[in-house]
Amino acid sequence: MKVFMDDARDTPFGWTRTYNIDETKAALLTRKVVALSLDNDLGSPDPTTEGHHVLSWLEEQVNDDPTFPIPDMQVHSSNAGRAPSMRQAIAKLERIRLEREASNGS
């Protein structure tokens, strides 16, 4: 499953749309997400609902459960302040995935 988290943009063909963090977490918990594209600003003034929180949550899941799958990820947010830090979080998760693959002989 490819998940596109955004509250406003059109969903790309072949992707499953989630509108908020809770829906995105629920999709990730299925362990079937192979690709994840994230927006940061999800239409709420509440900063706890920003998309970057998905990455923090995903890092916790990965650290707590070494078998938790890490999807291919990208940021499509136009938030110039938050997008770079989201990309850094993705890079960290990708390093973890590569380390896992190396230790499993993949």
Q: For 2-103, which CATH class?
A: alpha beta
User: Cα–Cα distances in Å, from 28 out to 34, 46, 59, 84?
Assistant: 9, 22, 12, 22
- Tokens for 59? 């890092």
Of residues 31, 23, 12, 30, the one with CA closest to residue 74:
12
Lowest mean pLDDT across 2-16, 17-31, 91-105: 91-105
Instruction: For 21-44, write each residue's pLDDT tens digit.
Output: 999 999 999 999 999 999 998 888
Instruction: For 41-80, write each residue's pLDDT tens digit.
Output: 888 888 788 889 999 999 999 999 999 999 999 999 988 8
Higher pLDDT, 26 or 82: 26
pLDDT at 44: 82
Domains of the chain, residue spans: 2-103
